[in-house]
Amino acid sequence: MIIGEVMEKYPATVEVFKKYFGKGCFDCPGSGYEDIDFGSNMHNVDVGALLKELNETAEGKKKG
């Protein structure tokens, strides 16, 4: 999924993206067209760990 679409559909995931990508992610025009895998590669982040936390947060299993 596109990063911006995830944040729009699941607002609680914003904090997860901040944790993994930093606060600059939200000012970046790329968030409107870059997918999670691409962002993970750009930020040298384990995509599996990020997806796990995003899914937990989107499903309401994790606070914050």
CA 59 to chain centre: 14
- pLDDT > 70? residue 62: no
User: CB 39: neighbour CB atoms within 10 A?
Assistant: 21
Instruction: Please say whether the beta carbons of 10 and 17 come within 8 A.
Output: no
What pLDDT is stored for residue 30 in this prediction? Answer: 78
Q: What are the pLDDT digits (tens) for 10-60?
A: 999 999 999 999 887 667 777 888 999 999 999 999 999 999 999 999 999
Residue 35 forms beta bridges with which residues? Answer: 2
- Torsions phi, psi for 8 (to 5 deg): -70, -45
Cβ atoms < 10 Å from Cβ of 15: 14
**pTM given for the model:** 0.85
